[in-house]
Amino acid sequence: MSAAPEEFFAESTIGLEAYRRLRDEMLPLGVTVRTTKSQVGFVSRRPFAFLWLPGRYLRHPRSPVVLSIALPRRLPSHRFAQVVEPAPGRWMHHLDIHSVADLDDEVAGWLRDAAAAAQ
């Protein structure tokens, strides 16, 4: 059974603020939210973005929250902590979130592109 995003981020103020910012930007695009045990996902036809708490999985996390964005191409930005291609043509871009200010217009554009690609 999945919890509500507010429950998932109950112990992370930054996580909850980041979720609310992304929710407010993505829901008008017809995106839905899915919460699992490990992450909060944003879904078009397919999942395209995930907020998760690295402190649950890493001994020394670099940030309190990570936003992972799935796209069919690699984005050339120094802002990503890590970019991997887990499957051909599917690039995961991991962005460390230290405050809601990290979720700026550039990130919103990446998310719109990812949502469109996930149709």
| 18 vs 81: CA distance, rounded Å | 17
Which tens digit of pLDDT belongs to each residue from 15-68? 999 999 999 999 999 999 999 999 999 999 999 999 999 999 889 999 999 999
Read off the pLDDT band of 1 (50, 70, 90): very low
Return the percentage of the chain with pLDDT > 90, whole number. 95
Please give the single-letter amino acid code of residue 94.
H
Q: What is the pTM of this model?
A: 0.94
In this predicted structure, what is the pLDDT of residue 18?
Answer: 98
Coil, strand or helix: which one is 83? strand
Helix (H) or strand (E) holding 24: helix 13-26
Question: How long is the chain?
Answer: 119
In this predicted structure, what is the pLDDT of residue 58?
Answer: 87
- Break the chain into its structural domains and give their ranges: 5-117
Mean pLDDT, the chain, rounded, equals: 95
